[in-house]
Amino acid sequence: MLRRVSLWLLFVSIGCSLAGGATDKPKPQPKDDYYELYKVLVDTMDQVERNYVKEVDRRELIESAIKGVLGKLDPYSSYIPPDELSRFRATVDSEFGGIGIQIGVEGGQLKILSPLAGTPAYRAGLLAGDRIVAIEGKSTEGINIDDAVARLKGKEGTKITITVIHPGRSDKLEVTLTREKIHVETVLGDRRKADDAWDFMYDAKQRIGYLRVTAFSRDTAAELRRALEQLKGEKMRGLILDLRFNPGGLLSSAIEVSNLFISKGRIVSTKGRNSPERVWDAQKNGAYEGFPMVILVNRYSASASEIVSACLQDHKRAVVVGERTWGKGSVQNVVELENGRSALKLTTASYRRPSGKNIHRFEDAKEADEWGVTPDKGFDLKLGDSEMVNLLEDRRRRDVLQPHDPPEGEPEAEKKPEAKANGNGKATEPPAPKTNGKPPAEKPPAEKPAAKDKPGTGLDEPPFVDRQLQMAVKYLTGQLARSK
C-alpha cells in the first residue's frame, strides 16, 4: 500500500510540474481523465514492481513511462535523464566531438538532413537523405533524435561505425569515422579561388553573386555580411542565396540573416497552444536591398532556412526556386525536472511566417496541407534521387581544398603529395588504406578553372548541370536585362 501511495504522489508531482509552466487555465477534462487515468498507470507500475518475475528498478520504470508518453508526440520532444544531461548541455554549447551531420526522424527512420562541409561525415561521402540504419551495429529503428545524437557524439579522436543506405539504393554501406570537434564555416561560394578563399561571384559578366549557407550558427550573419560587402565591392547586381540541404540552426541567426535583406516588416512569430505569441520585426540597420534575389531550397531545407526563405518570399524580396521544404517549424523549450537533475525537451510552439501561415509539418500532415515553404509559381523544380546525389557529389568535390606547393623556405618534406591519375584519367588522392572496403573518395584535379570556364565547372569530366541553379541564373539574367 505504501508503495502504491508513493508512486501515486510521484505521478501527481510530475503532473503538477508539467502543468506548472502553463500560462492559460487548462480546459475542463472529462471525468475519467487526469487522476483516474493516473491511477491506472500507478496501479500498473505497482503490479509490475511487486509481481513481475524479475526485480525491476523503479527509476527505469518511471523513465520508460515518461519516454512512452513522449513517444506519442513529435520526434523533437524527449526526456533527458541525469546521466545524459551534461552531454545535452555540452551539445547546446557546441563543445563536443562528432562526425558532422544534421539528422532528422521521418516515418520512424533516422535520416541525414545534411552533412556539414569539411567534417568527417562530409569527407566520407555521406549524403543528405542517407538512412542511418545502424550505429555501432545496433539498429536505429524507432530511435528518437536525442538518442541518435547521444550515440553519434563522443570524445574527439574516438572512432564510430555507422551503416547507411544512400537515396534510391538498397545496398548497405558501413562507414567508420573518427570524431572531431565540429566547427566549420557556414557561408560558402560556388568555387574556391587560387588562395582557397571562396569566390562569391558566380557570373562575373552579369555580376550575379552566389552565397551558399550550410547552417545557421552564431557567426552566420557576420560571415554573410562580410561576403555581401565583398560582393558589393565587386559591384554585384543580383544574388542567389542557396539554402538547399540547410538543416537550420539558431532562431536568432535566422532573424539576423533575414534582417540583412529587409529593413522593415515582420520576420517571424511563434505561437503555441499554451504559450504567448512572440514576434520579431526587422530593424533599420542598413539592409542589402535594391537588387533582384533568388533563394534556392529543397526538401532538406529546414527550420531556420525555412524562416529566412518564408520571410523574404512573403515580403517579395526574393523569388523562391526549387522544391517544397522539410517543414520543421517547431519551438522546443527545455524544462528542468528533479531540481535540475533531469530535463524535458518539449515542443511548445510553431513558427509562423510573416503572412501568419504555418511552417511546421505535423505527423499527420498531408501534401495538400499548409506547411513548409513552397517555391513561387513557375519555379517549382524537383530533382530525382539520383540527380540529387550527383548534385551533392559535385558540391562536395568543389568544397575540397586543393593541394598547393609549400611556401618559399618550407622544407620539401612538408610538401603535400601531388594527385595521381587513375586508369580513367581522373585525379585521385595518393593511395591510402581502405576503410571497411571503401576506397578513398575522389577529389577534383589540382588545377583551378580558368577564367574563361563556364561558371560552376572546373572538373576534367563533363560538368554536372545544376538545373535549379540554372533556373535561378536565368531568372536573374532576365530581371537584370529589363532593368537596363
Question: Which residues are registered as beta bridge partners of 278?
Answer: 270
Closest CA to 92 of 292, 304, 308, 249: 249
Give mean pLDDT, residues 246-273: 92
Q: Give the active site residue among 74, 146, 314, 394.
A: 314
Q: Which residue has the cell 595518393?
A: 430
CA 76: distance to chain centroid?
13
pLDDT greater than 70 at residue 184: no
51-100 pLDDT per residue, tens: 999 998 889 999 999 999 999 888 888 999 988 887 676 545 444 689 98
Is position 314 annotated as part of the catalytic site? yes
Find the DSSP H helices in 176-263.
Answer: 220-233, 251-259
Closest CA to 149 of 98, 77, 224: 98
Give mean pLDDT, residues 115-130: 85
Quick one: pLDDT band at residue 425, thresholds 50, 70, 90? Answer: very low
Closest CA to 147 of 157, 138, 159: 138
Give mean pLDDT, residues 420-448: 35
pLDDT value for 405: 47
Say how far apart CA 271 and CA 279 lie, in whole Å.
9
Q: Between residues 286 and 86, which one has the greater pLDDT? A: 286
Say how far apart CA 115 and CA 126 lie, in whole Å.
7
Say how far apart CA 476 and CA 223 lie, in whole Å.
24
Q: Between residues 115 and 233, which one has the greater pLDDT? A: 233
CA 132-85-362 angle, 5° bins: 50
Closest CA to 285 of 217, 221, 223: 221
Quick one: pLDDT band at residue 28, thresholds 50, 70, 90? Answer: low
Q: Give the active site residue among 303, 305, 309, 330.
A: 303
Which helix (H) or strand (E) segment is 85 a member of?
helix 82-92
Quick one: pLDDT band at residue 4, thresholds 50, 70, 90? Answer: low
Average confidence score pLDDT of the chain? 81
Query: Do the beta carbons of residue 331 and residue 349 sit within 8 Å?
Result: yes
CATH number at 84-181: 2.30.42.10
User: Is the domain covering 187-386 a CATH 3.40.920.10 domain?
Assistant: no
Is position 328 annotated as part of the catalytic site? yes
Query: Do the beta carbons of residue 111 and residue 104 sit within 8 Å?
Result: yes
Q: What is the 3-state secondary structure (H, E, C) of 218-236?
A: CCHHHHHHHHHHHHHHCCC
Which three cell numbers mark 45?
507500475
Q: Which amino acid is at 16?
A: C
Q: Is the pTM of this model over 0.75?
A: no
Domain spans in the chain, listed from the N-terminal domain onward: 2-56, 84-181, 187-386
pLDDT greater than 80 at residue 199: yes
Q: Give the active site residue among 146, 253, 258, 328.
A: 328
